Amino acid sequence: MEKIIAGLVQMDSGPDMNENMRMAEQYVREAAEQGAKLILFPETAEYTGADMPGHASAVPGYVSRRFSSLAKRYGVYLHCGSMTVRRHPGRPSNTSFLFGPDGETIAEYSKIHMFDVNIPGSVSYEESREICPGNEIVLADTALGLFGMSICYDIRFPEQYRLMASSGADVFLIAADFTKATGERHWEALLRTRAIENGCYVLAANQCGQKARFEAYGHSMIIAPDGEILAEADDTPQVLIAELDPEVLERTRNEIPSLENRRDDLYRVSSGNVRIYEE
């Protein structure tokens, strides 16, 4: 991994796609002016409203081309957070794209864990009715480092992150629209745990503000491999900046070699569905 200045964008995306993309450009410019070479957006940065499937985008299309052009204009690695992508009959996918400084797509990842919950008298929601899940764990091998990609609810499934770490990931890129109700209890604990147990940097960009179904939590974070929070947002739109240092990564893994000490002979998890995209 190279030494990286990373920029994290916390947005309050709404139902106006043009306004969301206008704000995205402003945030990319702000992060790039502060030296960021890797910029990460939250989940569904392009549209957050009552009809997600109805606002699914074609790829290539308006949204993907806008993000691609921003990556090229500012010469950065740009992670779009995620987009609702019109790709599967009946159900779109919730898909992240990582664009290189030349504007080309390096990697794409579709959210694999669907939030399906039914609590009688309380919450009932089946994400899988609206969104088609992905079937691959994805890493992007770039000139800056090896990035593991994930989206929101994925952070509750440690197996995914262990497979990415054991496949060589240095940094986890997490795009989210995490609710305030659960975020206040679980967000920081889950993110810091994913960093500590795998000895990886965590970049977690979250939505903020009132959405159609809930209030988003905000509190986007950049976390070091030892669990130290390097930067944290409040509950308003903003850009976070922090340095990711390969020496810190190496020192942390040497001090606590949990990846080396694991017993795969007892609890092996198949890596057959891991895909590594090369730049």
Contact 70, 100 (CB under 8 A): no
Contacting residues for 150 by C-beta, under 8 A, at least 6 apart:
109, 111, 160, 161, 164, 172, 173, 174, 175
Q: What is the pLDDT of residues 134-160, one digit of tens each?
A: 999 999 999 999 999 999 999 999 999
Average pLDDT over the chain reads 94
Contact 91, 83 (CB under 8 A): no
Look up 232 and say whether it is catalytic.
Answer: no
In this prediction, residue 122 carries a pLDDT of 65
Instruction: Given the residues 43, 46, 108, 188, select the one marked as catalytic.
Output: 43
In this prediction, residue 168 carries a pLDDT of 96
Q: What is the CATH number of domain 4-261+269-278?
A: 3.60.110.10
Look up 152 and say whether it is catalytic.
Answer: yes
- Domain residue extents for the chain: 4-261+269-278
Model pTM score: 0.95
Instruction: Given the residues 80, 108, 130, 152, select the one marked as catalytic.
Output: 152
- As separate numbers, helices (DSSP H) first and strands (DSSP E) second, the chain gives 8, 18
Look up 2 and say whether it is catalytic.
Answer: no
Sign of the Cα torsion 119, 124, 130, 131 reads negative
* CA 56 – CA 86 distance, rounded (Å): 5
In this prediction, residue 67 carries a pLDDT of 98
Instruction: Given the residues 37, 80, 108, 111, select the one marked as catalytic.
Output: 111
In this prediction, residue 123 carries a pLDDT of 65
